[in-house]
Structure 1
Amino acid sequence: MKNEDSIYEVFLNTIDEDLRSMCKKNGKAEMPFPYPYCGEQDTERLAKALVDVLEKHSPDIPGLVPEQYRDDVHEARELLAAASLALLSLYFPQRDNCAHCMAILIGMFEHGSNPRFKSSGVRMFEQVTTGMKYSSEQGGYILSRFVRSIDYKRPCDHVHRDGSRGFTADEDDAVMFYKRYLKVQRHVFDTSPRFNFELCVKRPFEALSDNRENFYCMEEKMEIDLATKVRELQDRYTLNFAQAKEYDLLDKLMIDALLAYLRDGSVSIAARESYVAQTERLIDGAVKLPCATSPKEGADVDRIS
């Protein structure tokens, strides 16, 4: 890749002429993707080509993706790229069908500590699969306003016999690609719940949201972000001690070990990142409230949940 080439330009020069023409026809977006929706096969071709370019010109940080998960991560990148292309084309305005918006959408996926965790990325696709949108203002789910551009059907109006709403994988390509992605994601989660699969999957797509003309490696930024999180955890841990809050000996030993591990530069960023949430829970959740009376006098020693 020449220095003056952007990652998107490399992508355009890589794909077939028919796909390149589809992208260029979308004149309302910068770094455009096809609009209207170009169909399952062409979407899959675009996704595979895009991921190939990103992985070639944005190689993974050494140690980021363990060898046993390399094929799963690659497949998940292709499927999530295809799902994002379909979702943007089918449910978003023409101007949003671009590389920058894809990077934002994929960046909304985050790793959770259990299968029930739902990131903003998951909830975005749920608007199609369930016809419902989570509203933080109302503290619950409301009907989604999504309208599919090819036939003007709304997922919330599509009611099944059991009373559920939304489109299935057989009825919507965005759902189909997304469900295939989830199958890979769940396979990896069942094998290793602590492995930050989402971080590894979405990392190359950060190149698409780079504001500069030239693509640059995000390794340094990721390291800085992690170091900032670790400092914040250490500060909270120190503050708890300063406020005379106590930890069980076992919790204290575990926290000290985790903080040391998070600072270990010889360990991959992804591996360390996967333990941040656990460290945070221990620091915030294992603190004992100081109690004026002893347990022998009938007072319980509570934990902050």
Structure 2
Amino acid sequence: MKTTPNLSRRSFIKSTSFAAAAPFVLPSRIRAAEVKPNDRITLGFIGMGTQNRGLLGGFLTYPQTQVLAVCDVDTTRRENAKKMVEDYYATKAPAGSYKGCATYHDFRELIGRKDIDAVVIATPDHWHAFIAITAAKAKKDIYCEKPLCESIHESLSMVKAVRNNNVVFQTGSMQRSSREFRTACELVRNGVIGRIKTVDVSVGGPAVPCNLPTEPDEPGLDWDMWLGPAPKRGYHSELSPRGVHKHFPNWRNYREYGGGGVTDWGAHHFDIAQWGLGMDESGPNEIIPPPDWQKAQNGVR
């Protein structure tokens, strides 16, 4: 496979997601400029676990955005996110001008609001496609955490929905905004290391079937809604930890809800391989599992 020749630094940066990272490096005089209320991008957050609380904290600091609503199937996490938003805006908004943060346990109600411009999705992976497609059809711009979804069919359906409804979609691929990864891909695409024959990607093992026992239900959690399109089973705190938690839950390692290291880290590292090869708009021609694929633990070649 040949690398892309004679690609200048300027054209490379323009052709990548560098623009997506631009707001993070704007001069302070621009970031500090006053933004009129009607010019702000209004946001709704769906799935208020550890990842989305981090994203929420970041978006709250941007004068260009305003958070109107949060959604989670767990009451404790939902109310915690609401408090996080209201405590922040209470110190920023003029007295009497802030009307509070709405809460929802069903994402469809949040997406149905006409006054929300965009949604931030950070649910377990098995919900990504359905929520994103619903948001696109409602003409909402979308930021959706990685991995994008769970299958090729889901990914193509998401692309179709986004394009048909002319909305903006960005997936959470932090390495695209890293100077080190941009530089490495630039070197590869300019042929600095020569002709690329093989790419080895180490990401960890695949997901396994979920065989966890059933625990007592968690009060305030809509477990059926958490499961959504996944097979029905009893509650277990390893999948949806009780209350507000600071770790990343282990649902990602069970194939009913995620793809293990193959998708969790693969969403980052496979993407960089595609980026460096200039193959962003393509996919694999063939996937050949090893004879002992059940024992596979490292990655993909």
Q: Could you tell me the TM-score, scaled by structure 1's length?
A: 0.26
> For the pair shown, which has the larger CA radius of gyration, 1 or 2?
1
Give the number of the structure whose residues are more often helix, by fraction: 1
Give the number of the structure whose residues are more often strand, by fraction: 2
